[in-house]
């Protein structure tokens, strides 16, 4: 017994020292993976360009890089800003509406009986299907993508939030109530912390479908933004610029998704710690 104690005491500092190192290695590996993925994409793209042998139809990566640099001094920043504004307005309104409706359905059985079937009826109908109606309602302009983005972002966050609230163990709520917690404290200190992981997962899903809705809406129902600029350059058969704008959309989407993942890791780190402790 006396000889086992020193080894156990010595293992804890080693574990504490190795944790920051493992985190740094994980971040380094993630950065390397991104560059490897981009290099692999560029190589695959170059092979396709060689096979097609038509730089006008399939411009090589170097031509697209030159077009991207040229666009940075022209229309690209303004178009990216217009898309971000439309995305922000539509995404935030869809998220707010989805959270509110999920809370309402979780609180009242009558609301759940109405909203659940309605969501399952509308959810399979993609936002693109509503483009003709949106154009008739709002005309060609920024309101079309805002409406469609909000519609697309609504359902993933609604479904995930409602599932997260319903998945909160009833025993935790009853324990808090038995200790004298008010309804507000039960919501803020029991329900919300338990629901956060699924809610943020739904927010990531909403962001992905919101991006797809944004590009589709700007292609056909807007007069600004990155999607509209793709259509504009396609009319002049400037495929190198078309590809540069498409890559810009991918880069912006990756950055925004990384921000949500960072927020997810910050707010739900306790759940991963609990899983690691259980293992």
Q: Are 55 and 63 in contact (CB under 8 A)?
A: yes
What's the rounded Cα separation, in Å, for the pair 255 and 259?
A: 6
pLDDT at 14 over 50: no
Phi (first) and psi of residue 112, to 5 degrees: -65, -40
- Interacting residues of 71 by C-beta distance below 8 A, sequence separation 6+: 241, 244, 245
Residue carrying structure tokens 């997962």: 201
- pLDDT at position 6 is 46
Which of 73, 92, 33, 88 is closest to 244 using CA atoms?
73
User: In this structure, what are the phi and psi dihedrals at residue 2, rounded to the nearest 5 degrees?
Assistant: -75, -25
For residues 44 and 58, what is the distance between their CA atoms, to the nearest angstrom? 12
The whole-number average pLDDT for the span 208-215 is 91
Neighbours of 36 (CB within 10 A): 10
Percent of the chain with pLDDT over 90: 37
Q: Does this model's pTM top 0.75?
A: yes
CA atoms within 13 A on the CB side of 189: 14
Q: For 90-129, how does the pLDDT look when each residue is reduced to its tens digit (9 = 90+)? A: 999 999 999 999 989 988 899 999 999 999 999 999 888 9
Helix, strand or coil, per DSSP, at residue 233: helix
Mean pLDDT value across residues 245-258: 91
How sure is the predictor about 23, in pLDDT bands with cuts at 50, 70 and 90? low
Span between the terminal Cα atoms of the chain, in Å: 25
DSSP 190: I
| The token pair that represents 149 in the structure block | 């983005």
DSSP 127: G
Judge contact between 168 and 194, C-beta under 8 A. yes
Contact 105, 111 (CB under 8 A): yes
Percentage of the chain lying above the pLDDT 70 cut: 85
User: What are the φ and ψ backbone dihedral angles of 248, each rounded to 5 degrees?
Assistant: -60, -40
For residues 206 and 257, the answer to whether their CB atoms sit within 8 Å is no
Find out whether 230 and 242 touch, Cβ atoms under 8 Å: yes
């Amino acid at each position: 017994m006396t000889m086992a104690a020193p080894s156990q005491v010595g293992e804890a500092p080693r574990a504490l020292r190795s944790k920051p190192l493992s985190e740094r290695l994980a971040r380094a590996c993630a950065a390397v993976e991104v560059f490897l993925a981009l290099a692999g994409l560029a190589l695959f793209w170059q092979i396709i360009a060689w096979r097609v042998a038509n730089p006008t139809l399939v411009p090589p990566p170097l031509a697209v890089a030159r077009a991207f640099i040229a666009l940075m001094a022209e229309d690209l920043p303004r178009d990216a800003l217009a898309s971000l504004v439309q995305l922000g307005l539509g995404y935030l309104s869809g998220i707010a509406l989805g959270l509110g409706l999920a809370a309402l359905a979780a609180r009242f059985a009558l609301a759940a009986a109405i909203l659940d079937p309605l969501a399952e009826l509308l959810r399979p109908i993609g936002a693109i299907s509503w483009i003709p109606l949106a154009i008739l309602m709002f005309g060609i302009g920024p309101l079309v993508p805002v409406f469609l983005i909000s519609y697309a972002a609504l359902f993933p966050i609604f479904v995930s939030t409602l599932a997260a609230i319903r998945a909160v163990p009833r025993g935790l709520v009853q324990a808090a109530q038995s200790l004298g917690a008010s309804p507000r404290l039960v919501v803020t200190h029991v329900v919300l912390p338990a629901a956060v992981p699924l809610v943020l997962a739904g927010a990531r899903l909403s962001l992905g479908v919101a991006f797809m809705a944004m590009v589709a809406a700007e292609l056909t129902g807007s007069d600004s933004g990155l999607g509209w600029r793709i259509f504009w350059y396609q009319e002049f058969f400037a495929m190198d610029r078309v590809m540069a704008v498409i890559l810009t959309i991918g880069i912006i989407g990756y950055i925004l998704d990384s921000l949500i993942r960072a927020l997810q890791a910050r707010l739900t780190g306790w759940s991963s710690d609990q899983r690691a402790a259980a293992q």
